Amino acid sequence: MSLDVSDPLAVARASAAAMWEKDLASRSLGMSLDAIGPGEAQLSLTITVEMTNGHKTCHGGYIFTLADSAFAFACNSYNQNTVAQHCSVTFLRPAFAGDRLSASAREVSRIGRGGIYDITVTNQNGEHVAEFRGHSRTVKGTPIPVPD
């Protein structure tokens, strides 16, 4: 099956499928890839007791990881290998065991080899848990082969 490079949604879906197959980190944590499109992605994760810290709240590293995974799928949605160059997160409220967190990534800017993406993490009640900003950089290669 060849990729129809003229269809941005098909490119985004095929790129995400190729990445998801190899993304052991996101899958092993129990994340789900809920939506994908050009420059956007949504992933979700249920927080387990094993993901909580000494305050009995979700460890911030898991929230960051969920947002980072959404960032990765959004910035790789053009079938160009893209990596994080810089990321920052602001935690707004705690999450707890049993919470279902969703990370929604959207492209802010994509110029040359660089991109900026904002990711909003919310809980099952729609409350903002964190805001994440990622700066991306394209590198050589593609998630899926491109026809000549």
87-127 pLDDT, tens digit per residue, is 999 999 999 999 999 999 999 999 999 999 999 999 999 99
pTM of the model: 0.95
* Number of domains the chain is built from: 1
Q: Give the pLDDT mean for 9-23.
A: 96
In DSSP terms, 114 is beta-bridged to 111, 137
| 109 domain-assigned | yes
Output the six-digit token pair for 57: 């709240």
Q: Determine what percent of the chain falls in helix, strand and coil, rounding each to the nearest 5.
A: 25, 40, 35
Kindly report the CA angle at 27 between 31 and 84, in degrees rounded to 5? 85
Task: Decide if 75 is inside a domain.
Answer: yes
Name the average pLDDT for the chain. 96
Residue 10 one-letter amino acid: A
Beta-carbon-side half-sphere exposure of residue 102 (alpha carbons within 13 Å): 11
Is residue 1's pLDDT more than 70? no
Residue 146 domain flag: no
**Can you give the CATH number for the domain in which 132 is found?**
3.10.129.10
Query: Residue 109's domain spans which residues?
Result: 8-138
Q: Does residue 54 belong to any structural domain of this protein? A: yes
